[in-house]
Structure 1
């Protein structure tokens, strides 16, 4: 598992604070940040993130609801909106990361309770 995958999943599972992950993300070069944003979207898509997940994730993200990534993420279709969020300018990357990781955390928690309950073999759900 890549370090970025581990960090994203640790946040999603409550093993790492969002602010710590944001500090790590902020230390990356722009092209690395963009790649991480793509990873988070891929994870959120795999977890079948919904607009309800997006609304709850936004509340957890600490991003003002009037900020561009926040406005986009709560619209449907969620997958299309996530694509718009990762295509925002670099000045929006940190806010986008906060929003996307928070949405993923909500969607993944739901997934762990439903699809993966009891006998999950996903390495990213079994961090130790």
Structure 2
């Protein structure tokens, strides 16, 4: 799976698709960015820099300041693949992001998407 073509694609080329998917369902670019920041630890400025530099997915995740430990709570199916069963680490990170964007587009509340602990 390490040679999967998405690994070499620029994050910037896929990012607009995440935003479009969310906006089609009445969600916002800001919510997409919040999800990406939660997952990766990038600041908004760092995220925008990664997009501007057109880094590929491999570099995008390798450079992430602080991958959120709570991402391991992300479960479910994306593109017919159970996220928690993806063995290749980079593909698992990509699938985590895909799953979070899917949850946003399906109307799930941000605190649930971001795996906020119950009060």
Query: Does TM-score exceed 0.5, indicating one fold?
Result: no
Which structure has the highest helix share of the two? 1
